[in-house]
Structure 1
Amino acid sequence: MNKFLVCFIYISFSAVFGQTNSKNQPNVLFILADDLGINALNCYGNPLVESPNIDRLFAEGMHFTNGYSNDPTCAPSRASIMSGQYVSRHHVYRVADRFKQDQKTLEAMTYLPPENYRLNGSGAGLNLNKITIAEALKDNGYETAAYGKWHLGHNELQIQNQGFDEGYEITGHFNFKTSPKQKNIDSTLYSSDVITSKTIDFIERANGKKQPFFAYVPYYLVHKPLEPKKKYLGHFKNKLKGNPNVGPDEIKVLAMIKSLDDSVGKLLHTLEKLNLDEDTIVIFASDNGHYQTESNIFTKPYRGVKGETYEGGIRVPYIFKWPKHIKPNSASTAPIIHVDLYPTILGLTSTKHPKDYILDGEDLSPILLGKRIEPKREALIWEYTNYAGYNPKTKSFRSQWVNVIQMDGYKLTEVVEDNSYYMYNLKKDPYETQDVYGEYLHIAEKLKHRLEEWKKETGYEHPKPNPNFKQ
């Protein structure tokens, strides 16, 4: 068949059926929870949680049991999701430079961590030279929207300057704030209800135009402040009355998870109502691990919480649903991380890789579609540069600069401040109870070598002496 005939057939097909084809361009609904721990859903094993809609999504798709965030805090992990790059490339290192406002911490630091990317007048956030997942999908004909927690800069760095056709930031629960500030909006409503309503309106309009859509839905739930709806707070107070293993804050969180689940249910119902269910990829994840609560029931049995690189601070739920493509009620033990989302969405939507742009993650579509079991890569790596909370009595930081590598079932942490290391065998000790660094030095050396390679590959900024340091 000659090239002219092939071209004629393609043009004729497009003229008859239109430029968009749901089989080649499925819609994408990406729901991102805020601070939702690995054990904060009923489907992931917490019987105290009521999450029937997310549980249904879990049953209808594939979930990952070894899913990770790129950072144990919000902004860096969100930058990795949007850019598809590690922290050392996108330079959103921390939510805030707390050490600069704490003289004791600043004077105790041997090194200064690298600076966050900042744009004058727009604050710290994601550099506009990064090609976001939304921009890549727009080049493939997608309508794009994002309502909810952005956390990657404001003004010039706002949502609509990063590849989204519409959207704005919504932070808080009751009496929420918007950026850019919106007029004619009732901020006394619960923010998740507003985010859901705006997203449903976008989906309905995109469907009316027969355009494939990418709806990014970053809820503020279940981030603090702990502000649940009264009806759900009363429900859980009554249900768990007298239970000594659940604290008052945890009851509030359970009520907030219930609201998150309600919102997810409304989005899923909209897809079904519009007959878009089979043509839409639904992704559910969280930005990082859960914050500390009375009994840490949302991270246990794992060690650690938000702000720490122990498993409880970086393990998060991942669920993918795409009817007739992803096997229902399936599970994967493959270790995955936020930067995998970008190339995976490209792979599932037949979207071209942005030219001359580095993506650090791996396309998981072969795993989701049942063609592979394990990723090709050999290691997951973290760089966490958050110095905070120095205690002069114990001569220790609440958090400090660490680099972490997980490889061959082992997890090695490099403590930059004193050039020390500790390591866990996650296959035998997933809850990180026993440091085996001294027992397996040959394995530790292998992981150190790969970590040093990663630093060279990603443009890692090495520690610089702190001029404020006082011995």
Structure 2
Amino acid sequence: MNKTIILIAYLATSFLVKGQELTKKPNIVFILADDLGINALNSNGNALVESPNIDKLFFEGMHFTNGYSNDPTCAPSRASILSGQYVPRHKVYRVADRYKTDKKTLEAMRFLPPEINRVKGSGAGLNLDKITIAEALKTSNYTTSAYGKWHLGKNDLQIQNQGFDEGYEITGHYNFKTSPQQEDLDNTQYSADVITDKTINFIKKASSENKPFFAYVPYYLVHKPLEPKAEYLAYFKNKLKNNSIVGKDEIKVLAMIKSLDESVGQLLKTLNDLGLEDDTIIVFTSDNGHYKTESNIFNQPYKGVKGQTLEGGIRVPYIFKWKNKIKAGSRSNEPIIHVDIYPTLLGLTNTSKPKDYVLDGEDISPVLLGITSETKRDALVWQYTNYARWNEKRQEFASSWVNVIQMDGFKMTEDVETNNFTLYNLNNDPYETKEVSNNYPAEIDKLKARLQQWKTETGYEKPQLNPDYIKQ
């Protein structure tokens, strides 16, 4: 397809989308799973998983085979989703500074990582000067909600101060906690059921008032603790009683995925019952890769788990559905990442980008709408600064400071502690079985230069010498 035809097609589609302003903007339901791995859905190839409702989304929309999180852990990836920015800009670098209370790890670190953004009285989290996706959508008269896992700060940094008209944080499964604390809520219920009920009530209210809505639905499933519903646990124990591969924890996770799918099904049914299916964009993804389990069946065949920048720690499912706009049953092999969600939703809803505010992602709406099959960007980058669990015997950290760049199918990792660089050619080795830096010196130089450009553009904080370092 030549550029003239692409331009005409894009303008035509934009006109159709803009034409909705005469009536109402499309609604958005953004479902974010917690720690759900790339192989944790039946539709993604895991026959052990029962996920019929999410699979229905999969086959009714477009899925991405090379979808990534911005970080292999929760808080940084969520900050990137909500702010639309890479980690060095929003500065939610890690979930916690565990190395500060681990003397062996602290003394083994040559460098100190940059400090997590903190606000007095509210702790670590997303600064209020960031324009969240909810705040951007409110400029197009969206009403907004967020019930579920926030993980981006308390008090002043809570949900209702970040562009959401209603909502509160809900963490845990049974005996869950809320922030701000909800005195009239029965926390012996399953948190996913509460999140779903609250979101459904929000959708019903917005629909009755004929308002376009943005429902951010960040479930705590399938994060630990492993607390499935008793009936689903019994079901999978019986179903897999003769399966020698699946571990006890994995049976619990399968039961929890079934609860997640049940909740998604209730949201989809609500949209259908209210006649909103045609007018609602649905996004489904996860915040990072799956945690380690007995056989790692939820990350296979990829190497690595949550907390690692190997593919299993950062690859996540991605599904976009907009009936009659996004082709049902379509797929894209283009690499996408969390920061793309913000500009994409602005593009699909014809909402203006916030003035004088940097968005690091790409609007992939032309791919979703079938206008083009390719993204424009040349590289994806990760910065992961989580020092953890120094092992004296092996003389290595469980995780440390790495910068990762993927470009033209090559994935290079810079180990800040050692100044070593590793390379995988994902074009022919997507499962990272063979390190090939010695075979591609020109690619290493190219990736180093592009990574340096990214560091300059994003305000990357350079490593600082650690005064507590003791040479091992």
Corresponding position of 1:5: none
Report what 1:13 is aligned to. none
Residue 273 (str. 1) matches residue 269 (str. 2): no
2:383 match: secondary structure: strand
Aligned ranges for residues 422-441 of structure 1 at < 5 Å?
422-441=422-441
1:180-259 pair list within 5 angstroms: 180-259=180-259
What are the superposed Cα offsets for residues 399-448 of structure 1, whole Å, 9 maximum, x if unpaired? 00000000011000000001001000001100001000011010111011
Equivalent residue for 2:85? 85
Residues in 2 aligned to 1:205 and 1:373: alpha-carbon distance in whole angstroms: 37
Deviations 1:253-288 (A, max 9, x none): 000000000000000000000000000000000000
Q: In the alignment, does 2:98 pair up with 1:98?
A: yes
Q: Shift of the alpha carbon at 1:118? A: 0.4
The alpha carbon displacement at 1:392 in A equals 1.0
Structure 2 distance, partners of 1:186, 1:40, is 30
Report the residue type matching 2:426 in the other structure: L
Q: 1:222-251 CA distances to partner (integer Å, 9 max, x unpaired)?
A: 000000000000000000002111000000
Secondary structure at the counterpart of residue 178 of structure 2: strand
RMSD of aligned alpha carbons = 1.0
Q: Which amino acid aligns with 2:310?
A: Y
Counterpart in the other structure of 1:395 = 395
The within-5 A match list for 1:130-141 is 130-141=130-141
Q: Distance in 2 between matches of 1:245 and 1:333?
A: 30
Structure 2 match to 1:384: 384
Q: Which residue of 2 aligns with 1:445?
A: 445
Structure 2 unaligned regions, length at least 5:
1-18
Residue matched to 2:365: 365
C-alpha separation in 2, matches of 1:246 and 1:392: 32
Sort the Cα spacing of 1:20 and 1:150 in 2 relative to 1 into closer, same or farther, 3 A: farther
Q: Which residue of 1 aligns with 2:108?
A: 108
Residue type of the alignment partner of 1:21:
T
Q: Distance in 2 between matches of 1:170 and 1:374?
A: 38
Question: Is 1:72–2:89 an aligned residue pair?
Answer: no
CA distance in 2, matches of 1:184, 1:248: 35
Give distance in 2, aligned partners of 1:114 and 1:267.
40
CA-CA distance at 1:393 after TM superposition: 1.2
2:54 alignment partner in structure 1: 54
SS at match of 1:394: coil
The structural deviation recorded for 1:18 is 11
Task: Provide the secondary structure at the position in 2 that maps to 1:401.
Answer: strand
Gaps of at least 5 residues in structure 1 are 1-16
Q: CA deviation at 1:381?
A: 0.2
Q: Whole-Å Cα distance in 2 between the matches of residues 18 and 43 of structure 1? A: 32
Matches within 5 A, 1:266-415: 266-415=266-415
- The separation in 2 between residues aligned to 1:457 and 1:166, in whole angstroms, is 35
- Other-structure match for 2:155: 155
Offset, 1:33 = 0.1
CA distance in 2, matches of 1:18, 1:184: 40
**1:29 and 1:283 in contact (8 A); partners too:** yes
Residue 394 of structure 1 and its aligned partner are, at CA, apart by 1.1
SS in 1 for 2:438: coil
Deviation at 1:344, TM superposition (A): 0.1
Task: State the Cα deviation string for residues 326-356 of structure 1 (Å, max 9, x = none).
Answer: 0000000000000000000000001000000
Deviation at 1:19, TM superposition (A): 7.1
Quick check: 1:20–1:211 contact (8 Å CA) kept in 2?
no
User: 1:344 and 1:439 mapped to 2: Cα distance?
Assistant: 37
Aligned mates of 1:278, 1:19 — CA distance in 2: 15
Deviation per residue, 1:151-194 (Å, 9 max, x gap): 00010000000000000000000000000000110100000000
Q: Render the CA deviation track for 1:345-397: whole Å, top value 9, x for unaligned.
A: 00000100000000000001000000111110000000000000001111100
Structure 2 Cα separation of the partners of residues 197 and 327 of structure 1: 30
- Structure 1, residues 116-155: CA drift from partner, whole Å, max 9, x if none? 0001111100000000000000111000000000000010
Runs of 4+ that moved beyond 4 A: 17-20
Equivalent residue, structure 2, for 1:179: 179
**What is the CA distance between 1:21 and its match in structure 2?**
2.2
Give yes or no for contact 1:27–1:281 (8 Å, CA) kept in 2: yes
- Aligned partner of 1:456 in structure 2 is 456
Equivalent-residue separation in structure 2 for 1:429 and 1:323 (angstroms): 35
Q: Equivalent residue of 1:343, what SS?
A: helix
Matched to 2:276, the amino acid is: L
Partner of 1:21: 23
Distance 1:210 1:326 in 2: 23
C-alpha separation in 1, matches of 2:329 and 2:261: 19
Q: Name the aligned partner's letter for residue 112 of structure 1.
A: L
- Report the TM-score when normalising by structure 1: 0.95
Partner of 2:76, secondary structure, is: helix
Give runs of aligned pairs for residues 27-42 of structure 1, distance below 5 A. Answer: 27-42=27-42
Equivalent-residue separation in structure 2 for 1:125 and 1:279 (angstroms) = 33
